[in-house]
């Protein structure tokens, strides 16, 4: 039933456009983090174009659902998604990382729709807990979503936060781990092995779900399950691929923080949007 109502065609189109924006904006900026942006596209599209209650005309609406990008280096995917959703003009995306632009290298409150300045890793889940606690105090039914990088799980604060959310029974909180397997220096399992990731969260008393992070049906189904869970926060481990959609970037740690050149991007975008 639920599955039939998911507008897969529209979501796929949004995802293609957002991937194109990401490549174009980092190429224009000549720097930025395309890899971890491309891996999170379907997650953000599922949230902003299907699951979340939000209104681009009222970014301060007190009852809105909140999205915290803890892995702030994935700024390109957030800005592109916000632009596609109507929070800012898509023409502004090319100002990313440039002087006097609202689009900082790591997102901040200059841009409407950005809920939290996630530049330094490890803080976003804590901030999401604060928002979720405030929602409970105010008896509001908004939900809070936090997107974490898998490399970010190295940060100790993540686990301080992981311990705290179940204590406060934050069933209005959903964490999503972009499990793309790569951090700046290389493969996560070589830099700092973190498997079994799901079991770690389970041991911290979270409701744990694992999905293919590029499959809209799986992602959305998990988001719905998280919402119906009572008294416990949910973490969705979304298995993804860094650099998804660009063959030479996939699984290459070099594209964590490197921009492809404009010519290459032009060709890539053409094929992407034709598909």
- Based on CB atoms, which residue is closest to other proteins, 109 or 202? 109
Task: Provide the minimum distance between the beta carbon of 73 and other proteins in the complex, in angstroms, as a whole number.
Answer: 13
Task: Provide the minimum distance between the beta carbon of 157 and other proteins in the complex, in angstroms, as a whole number.
Answer: 4
Query: What contacts 266, CB < 8 A, 6 or more positions away?
Result: none
Task: Provide the minimum distance between the beta carbon of 100 and other proteins in the complex, in angstroms, as a whole number.
Answer: 18
| Strand 173-179 to 144-149 pairing | parallel
- Based on CB atoms, which residue is closest to other proteins, 119 or 260? 119
Distance CA 179, CA 225 (A): 19
Q: Which residues pair with 186 in a beta bridge?
A: 183
Task: Provide the minimum distance between the beta carbon of 67 and other proteins in the complex, in angstroms, as a whole number.
Answer: 12
Each residue of 87-105: b (16+ CB within 10 Å) or e?
A: bbebeebebbbeeebbbbb
- Based on CB atoms, which residue is closest to other proteins, 154 or 157? 157
Task: Provide the minimum distance between the beta carbon of 127 and other proteins in the complex, in angstroms, as a whole number.
Answer: 4
- Based on CB atoms, which residue is closest to other proteins, 62 or 89? 62
CA proximity to 235, closest of 151, 130, 162: 162
Residues that bind other proteins (CB under 8 A): 62, 66, 68, 108-109, 115-117, 119-120, 122-135, 137-138, 156-157, 160-161, 163-164, 168
Task: Provide the minimum distance between the beta carbon of 212 and other proteins in the complex, in angstroms, as a whole number.
Answer: 29
Task: Provide the minimum distance between the beta carbon of 107 and other proteins in the complex, in angstroms, as a whole number.
Answer: 11
């Amino acid at each position: 039933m639920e599955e039939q109502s998911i507008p897969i065609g529209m979501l796929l189109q949004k995802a293609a456009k957002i991937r194109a924006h990401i490549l174009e904006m980092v190429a224009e900026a000549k720097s930025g983090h395309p890899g971890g942006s491309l891996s999170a596209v379907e997650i953000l599209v599922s949230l902003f174009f299907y699951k979340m209650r939000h209104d681009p005309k009222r970014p301060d609406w007190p009852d809105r659902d909140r999205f915290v990008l803890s892995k702030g280096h994935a700024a390109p995917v957030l800005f592109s998604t916000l632009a596609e959703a109507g929070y800012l003009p898509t023409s502004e995306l090319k100002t990313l990382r440039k002087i006097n632009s609202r689009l900082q290298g790591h997102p901040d409150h200059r841009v409407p729709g950005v809920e939290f300045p996630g530049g330094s890793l490890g803080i976003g889940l804590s901030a999401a807990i604060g928002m979720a606690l405030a929602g409970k105090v105010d008896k509001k039914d908004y939900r809070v979503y936090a997107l974490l990088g898998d490399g970010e799980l190295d940060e100790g604060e993540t686990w301080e936060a992981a311990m705290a959310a179940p204590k406060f029974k934050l069933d209005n909180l959903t964490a999503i781990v972009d499990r793309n397997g790569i951090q700046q220096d290389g493969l996560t399992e070589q830099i700092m092995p973190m498997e079994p990731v799901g079991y770690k969260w389970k041991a911290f008393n979270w409701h744990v779900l694992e999905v293919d992070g590029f499959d809209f049906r799986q992602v959305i189904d998990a988001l719905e399950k998280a919402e119906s869970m009572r008294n416990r926060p949910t973490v969705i481990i979304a298995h993804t691929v860094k650099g998804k959609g660009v063959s030479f970037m996939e699984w290459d740690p070099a594209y964590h923080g490197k921009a492809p050149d404009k010519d290459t991007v032009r060709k890539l975008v053409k094929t992407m949007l034709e598909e």
